Amino acid sequence: MRRLVWGSILVWGSILTSGFVTMSVTTQAQGPNNTSRSGCAALPSWSALKEALSAAQAQNNGLLHLEMWGTVVNRDGVVCAVAFTGNDRGDQWPGSRVISAQKANTGNEFSLPGLALSTANLYSAVQPGGSLFGLQESNPVSTTVAYSGSPAQYGQQEDGMVGGRIGGINVFGGGLPLYNAEGTLVGGLGVSGDTSCADHNVAWRTRNILNLDYVPAGVSGDAARPDTIVYDITPQAGQMPGVSAGGWGHPRCFAEDVTASGTLPATK
């Protein structure tokens, strides 16, 4: 009888152990908020993002010329890759890692197959009295995703954000939607680490290098750059920075940043 009892315990223990192993494997195949890591096949790999981001950052994008963070999300807002341009994660502003992810999410979530909106295009509309005031509070960042994993892996292939839905809304320059050669909206790119104007310039060049800038239409008024940053804010007494003539304006940063924006390549 004792032998039978111990045999039963061993069998059940084996079943339970197998069950836990299966559950563990399933969890590892998902992101930190139970999202599948699939769906990134149409988007740049970590190495492709890092290479394009570094090449873009090395160009003339403005005055400060700081190192940058870059994040790519897919159409569902799942983080596919996070990279940086410096030699170590501390070479860029640490706070810009999550900001880059916010920007990627915003560029994706507020663009459509037929209408691209960069994060820079949203600045004026979300100011007090604007038609989208409060938008920046509407989709909070998932702190579980943002700060999961080891900091030693931030910006690497195993960054803790990868596979998670980051959420978040950011309304200054540096976030762009991604459109492939078929004109399909496949996700968003976010870049952060410098002034917001320079961030936009680096993001723009990164998207161009990645060949994901087949932009259908936008609100900038520039047919060659439909979703680019717009500098049409006129100063007005009592307001900072003023009023955007077209409603899609972004404040000017350093003069060098603005000049660099004028040299951005046309979209495809």
The residue ranges of every structural domain in the chain are 1-30, 46-261
| CATH class of the 46-261 domain in this structure | alpha beta
d(CA 237, CA 239): 6
d(CA 96, CA 45): 20
Could you give the count of Cα atoms lying within 13 Å of 233 in the half-sphere of its Cβ? 25
d(CA 175, CA 202): 10
Each residue's pLDDT tens digit in the chain (268 positions)?
Answer: 444 444 443 444 443 444 433 333 333 344 455 455 568 999 999 999 999 999 999 999 999 999 999 999 999 999 999 999 999 999 999 999 999 999 999 999 999 999 999 999 999 999 888 888 888 888 999 999 999 999 999 999 999 999 999 999 999 999 999 999 999 999 999 999 999 999 999 999 999 999 999 999 999 999 999 999 999 998 777 666 788 988 899 999 999 999 999 999 999 9
Indicate yes or no: pTM above 0.95: no
d(CA 94, CA 67): 11
d(CA 109, CA 102): 10
- Residue pair 202/171 in contact by the 8 Å Cβ criterion: no
Q: How far is CA 36 from CA 62, 147, 180, 215, in A?
A: 38, 18, 22, 27
